[in-house]
Amino acid sequence: MTEESLAIQTFALTRKFNDLTAVDSVDLAIKRGELFSLLGPNGAGKTTTINMLCCLLRPTSGTASVMGYDIIKEPFRVKERIGVSPQETVLSERLNSWENLSLIGKISGVGSVELRRRSEELLEIVGLLPRAKDQVAKFSGGMKRRLNLIMALVPDPDVLFLDEPSLGLDPQSRRAIWEYIERLKGKKTILLTTHYMDEADFLSDRIGIIDGGKIVALGTSDELKRGISDRGAMIILADNLSPQIIEGLRIKGRYTQVDEVSGHLRVSGKDIDFREIVDYLHSKGIVVRSAALEQPTLEDVFLHITGKALRE
Partner 1 sequence: MRFLEFGKRNLKETWRDPASLAFLLGFPLIFMLLFGLAFGGNIPEYKLGVVDQDRSQISQAFVSEALDKAFEVKPYDNAGKALDDLEVGNIKAYIIIPQGFGEKVFRDWQGQSENISLDIKYDESDIVVAEQVLSIIDAITRAFARIEVPITLNASPLNLKAEITYIDFAAPGIIVFGLLILIPTAARMMVRDKELGFLARMLTTPIRPAEFISGYSLCLFAVAVVQIVIFMLVARLFGMDIVGNAGWAFLIFVLTGLSCIGIGMIIASLTKTENQAEPLSWLISMPLAMLSGAWFSIDLMPSWLRSFAHAFPFSHAIEASRDILIRGTSLGTITTDFLFLGIWTAIIFAAGTILFRRSMAS
Residues that bind partner 1 (CB under 8 A): 51, 54-58, 76, 79-80, 82, 84, 86, 88, 90, 92-95, 99, 102-104, 106-109, 135, 151, 155, 161
Of 90 and 292, CB closest to partner 1 = 90
189, 161 Cβ separation under 8 angstroms: no
| Shortest Cβ 39–partner 1 spacing (Å) | 22
| Shortest Cβ 161–partner 1 spacing (Å) | 8
Of 71 and 277, CB closest to partner 1 = 71
Of 88 and 182, CB closest to partner 1 = 88
Of 79 and 195, CB closest to partner 1 = 79
Say how far apart CA 307 and CA 310 lie, in whole Å: 10
φ, ψ at 33 (rounded to 5°) = 80, 0
Q: What type of residue sits at position 301?
A: V
Say how far apart CA 120 and CA 98 lie, in whole Å: 8
Of 25 and 108, CB closest to partner 1 = 108
Of 86 and 213, CB closest to partner 1 = 86
| Shortest Cβ 19–partner 1 spacing (Å) | 18
Of 37 and 51, CB closest to partner 1 = 51
| Shortest Cβ 225–partner 1 spacing (Å) | 34
| Shortest Cβ 148–partner 1 spacing (Å) | 9
| Shortest Cβ 175–partner 1 spacing (Å) | 25
Of 115 and 277, CB closest to partner 1 = 115
| Shortest Cβ 281–partner 1 spacing (Å) | 58
Say how far apart CA 41 and CA 240 lie, in whole Å: 42
Considering only CA atoms, which of 301, 290, 54 is closest in space to residue 155? 54
Considering only CA atoms, which of 268, 174, 183 is closest in space to residue 230? 268
Say how far apart CA 51 and CA 141 lie, in whole Å: 23
Helix axes 97-107, 141-151, angle to 10 degrees: 20
| Shortest Cβ 54–partner 1 spacing (Å) | 5
